[in-house]
Amino acid sequence: MRKIFLGAALAAIALPLSAQQPARPRSAPEIVKSAPASDWVSISPDDLLVMSLAPDAQGKPRQIILQLLPPPFSQGWIGNMRKLAAAHWWDGGAVYRVQDNWVAQFGDPDEDTPQAKPLPEGLAVVPESEYTAPLPQSRKADLATAMVSMVAGDRTHLPESAPDSYADSGLFNNGWPMATDLERIWPTHCYATIGVGRNDSPDTGTGAELYAVIGTPPRQLDRNIAVVGRVIEGIEHLSSLPRAPGNGMYNDKAKNTPIQTIRLASQLPQADQPRFQYLSTQSQSFRDYVQARVNRRDSFYIYAAGSADICNIPVPIRRAP
Amino acid sequence: MRKIFLGAALAAIALPLSAQQPARPRSAPEIVKSAPASDWVSISPDDLLVMSLAPDAQGKPRQIILQLLPPPFSQGWIGNMRKLAAAHWWDGGAVYRVQDNWVAQFGDPDEDTPQAKPLPEGLAVVPESEYTAPLPQSRKADLATAMVSMVAGDRTHLPESAPDSYADSGLFNNGWPMATDLERIWPTHCYATIGVGRNDSPDTGTGAELYAVIGTPPRQLDRNIAVVGRVIEGIEHLSSLPRAPGNGMYNDKAKNTPIQTIRLASQLPQADQPRFQYLSTQSQSFRDYVQARVNRRDSFYIYAAGSADICNIPVPIRRAP
């Protein structure tokens, strides 16, 4: 990227003086702000869950918006989650576990006890094979090219490929951070990722008990647990909750944070449906954004890393303008 | 590691039946728990800061313990921090900035205003060159061996070497996670890392305004800012504070969390000095711990990643028994 940066500077010399003014490369936020409308993709209200916690100590509402992961990953659990929301099953549940640098977990605080809330009928039992999917043929060629460049010392080939500590490569796929072993592809555990709580294998969980990541990306959970979505607004209502020691379960139920409702956005009145968009990870704007993230050129930085972790390049998401 | 695991299983077959019982590999916590006393290194009270926030809403005390980074890194700022603690300069300060998935920042909430608290005399002005140090010759040979193995597909060679998205290699050095470009070595920004707030370069900050990482490791800050330590106890008192929007500065000073005192542990009465130890990163126990972290064999896991990020292998630290 240092070379590309230099190249841009040289190109500027040939321009008239007035055009030379913005010599400073655009920052990541500037790139996102100026992305054309055509680079933004609407998120269907069928793919959004609206979660309302009880108001905080000051009486302020606490709303959290979750985006569900698109096919082909984890669709069995996600189908269960749509059924649970339609049945209002989560209403009256709670955030009952908050472990520092790990997860905030929610659902039925009486799970695994005789007082457990019965699940709706007809939930799917989902196999572990839904944790991953075959890598599409179309991505293999891009990856091969990008990884050859990476071996040659160029670590800037995101979004086709990113150096990764947990897989052969990180990459972006339909708006989501993923990883691959060049045969299969799977969603990664990043900050604000939503996954399905489970007991030991072969149990894979139902989707009724969920967690949100609130610390270091726990990438060791990739391929061990179902990723089903991410928090796209209001993660601070989970991440700032009081921690409990040990595994984070509150020993006093009075410390649980009650869930008022969780609804599929498409089942809310039209006027109440939140409308969100993500920046297409196939757009030039996203490519520019990635380059700005891997080579910070803000005046604050004296050193540009030349690469970035897949979990440290959050896909831009906004309320529809 | 799959091969090593199989090797251990085969070796067990030759043992008498009674010795075969513990066939399950030890988990990371089990390895730490059974590490011999000789593998634990005492942390000097000259290298510990004890920070007391105002009690929480329930009146509970909030104590945070910071460990200072050992030489040769960042010693100019760390010297300033010892002076600031000795002068009781932080007393009456505050945590005035909490940005989600980023940092909690503390010091003088009036910094950069006419009401700013004067700094003690004699603080050092420290150059950016203290961000990094030459890679010791002794590590270069280990790294060369480990990296050849990594290229051959073995990603388990921590602590000499770890795959890294931000450098040629991650590695552990004297109890701390670090990164290297094979010429120089520097401390990494992981969860709970403490760094020195600064304005644009060539300003490098004094050490009076500090931040703690409370989210995804912001590795892009490596070599751009001074790492001076880490929170080793009580990080939850910072990570669970209410978030403020934008850059996390509270617009209402009533939302700041007051700092009662910050003291160097060695200046407290002997009986009040906290005593901590870290697991030597050169010990066999630590090597075993790393292997257990990169290849989770707990019954929960169905897939062992075979590698781990340097920030996802926290160095074990405990109160001295």
Identify whether the C-beta of residue A203 lies closer than 8 Å to the C-beta of residue B178: no
Give the burial class of B222: count Cβ atoms within 10 A of its Cβ; 0-12 exposed, 13-18 middle, 19 or more buried: buried
Q: What is the tens place of the pLDDT at every residue in A159-209?
A: 778 888 898 889 999 999 999 999 999 999 999 999 999 999 999 999 999
3-state secondary structure at position B169 = strand
Distance from CA of B295 to the nearest CA of A (A): 9
- Partners of A57 on chain B (C-beta within 8 Å) are 57
Give the amino acid at B59. Answer: G
Q: Which residue among A201, A301, A307 sits closest to B165, beta carbon to beta carbon?
A: A307
On the question of pLDDT at B12 being above 50, the answer is no
Nearest to B88 by CA among B216, B255, B212, B267: B267
Place of tokens 């300060």: B93
Task: Evaluate if residue B228 carries a pLDDT over 60.
Answer: yes
Coil, strand or helix: which one is B238? helix
Contacts of B315 in chain A (CB under 8 A): none
Tell me which H or E stretch contains A211: strand A210-213
Mean pLDDT across A110-134? 96
Q: Give me the percent of chain A exceeding a pLDDT of 70.
A: 90
pTM: 0.92
Q: In this structure, what are the phi and psi dihedrals at residue B261, rounded to the nearest 5 degrees?
A: -150, 155
Inter-chain residue contact A191 with B216, CB threshold 8 Å: yes
* Higher per-residue pLDDT: A138 or B310: B310
| 241-280 in chain B: CB under 8 A from chain A | 241-243
Chain B nearest CA to A79, separation (Å)? 24
Sheet holding A184-187, edge to edge: A133-134, A184-187, A176-180, A169-173
Chain B partners of A128 at a C-beta cutoff of 8 Å? 302
Instruction: Tell me which of A234 and B25 has the higher pLDDT.
Output: A234
In angstroms, what separates the C-alpha of A167 from chain B's closest C-alpha? 8
Sign of CA dihedral B212, B216, B217, B220: negative
Interface with chain A: mutation pick from B102, B161, B216, highest number of A CBs within 10 Å: B216
Mean pLDDT of chain A: 90
Chain B CB contacts of A303 under 8 Å are 222-224
| pLDDT per residue as tens digits for the range A87-98 | 999 999 999 999
Element (H, E) at B64: strand B62-68
Chain B nearest C-alpha distance from A82 (Å): 26
The string of DSSP letters for B124-158 reads PP--GGGG-EEPPHHHHHHHHHHHHHHHTT----T
Please state which of the ranges A154-163, A268-277, B47-56 shows the lowest mean pLDDT.
A154-163
The verdict on B57 touching A (C-beta cutoff 8 Å) is yes
**Residues B305, A222: C-beta atoms closer than 8 Å:** yes
CA B163 to chain centroid, in Å, comes to: 18
Question: Which of A40-49, B5-14, B84-93, B126-135 bottoms out in mean pLDDT, i.e. has the lowest?
Answer: B5-14
Q: What span, in angstroms and rounded, lies between the C-alpha atoms of B64 and B220?
A: 26
Q: What tokens were used for A206?
A: 């139902």
Name the 3-class secondary structure at A288. Answer: helix
What was the pLDDT predicted at B150?
67
Tally the residues of chain A.
Answer: 321
Answer yes or no: do B300 and A162 touch at CB < 8 A.
Answer: no
Q: Give Cβ neighbours of residue B237 (< 8 Å, ≥ 6 apart).
A: B53, B56, B62, B63, B64
B1 CB-near residues (< 8 Å, 6+ apart): B156, B291, B294, B295, B304, B306
**CA–CA distance, B134 with B159 (Å, rounded to integer):** 18
B219 at A interface, C-beta within 8 A: yes
Task: Answer yes or no: is pLDDT of A296 > 60.
Answer: yes
Q: What pLDDT shows up at residue A85? A: 98
Per-residue confidence (pLDDT) for residue B225, from 0 to 100: 97
Task: Cite the beta strand spans of B234-282 per DSSP E.
Answer: 257-264, 276-279
Chain A residues 278-297 with a CB less than 8 Å from chain B: 293, 296
Task: Say yes or no to pLDDT of B214 above 50.
Answer: yes
Give the Cα separation of B228 and B66 in Å (integer): 10
Which residue reads 């709970």 in tokens?
B192
**Which DSSP category does B229 fall into?**
E
| ipTM associated with this complex | 0.91
CA distance, residue A202 to nearest chain B CA (Å): 9
The CA distance from B72 to B178, in Å, is 13
pLDDT mean over B159-176:
88
Question: Which residues 80-109 of chain B have a CB within 8 Å of chain A?
Answer: 98, 100-101
Rounded mean pLDDT, B93-110: 98
| A233 in B contact zone (CB under 8 Å) | no
Query: Is the CB of A216 less than 8 angstroms away from the CB of B303?
Result: no
Of A164, A224, A236, nearest to B301 by CB-CB distance is A224
pLDDT tier, B153 (very low <50, low <70, confident <90, very high otherwise): low
pLDDT score for B25: 85
Q: Quick: pLDDT tens for A209-238.
A: 999 999 999 999 999 999 999 999 999 999
Does the structure show a pLDDT above 90 at A23? no
Nearest-by-Cβ selection for B307 from A101, A166, A216 = A166
The pLDDT value recorded for residue A22 is 52
Most A CBs within 10 A among B309, B310, B315, B317, hence the mutation to make, goes to: B309
**Helix, strand, or coil (residue B186):** strand
Burial track B182-203 (b if 16+ CB lie within 10 A, e otherwise): eeebbbbbbbbbbbbbbeeeee
Phi, psi for B294 (deg, rounded to 5): -80, -20
* Chains A, B: CB pairs < 8 Å: 141
* Residue B201 in contact with partner chain A when CB distance is under 8 A: yes
The verdict on A200 touching B (C-beta cutoff 8 Å) is yes
Question: Which chain A positions have a beta carbon within 8 Å of B311's beta carbon?
Answer: 216
Chain A residues with CB under 8 Å of B308 CB are: 165-166, 219-220
pLDDT in tens, B182-194: 999 999 999 999 9
pLDDT higher for B113 or B18? B113
Greatest distance between any 2 Cα atoms in chain A: 77
Residue A25 scores a pLDDT above 60: yes
> Are A196 and A177 within 8 A, CB to CB?
no
Predicted local distance difference test score (pLDDT) of residue B141: 84
> Hey, are the CB atoms on A240 and B243 less than 8 Å from each other?
yes
pLDDT at residue A184, rounded to an integer: 95
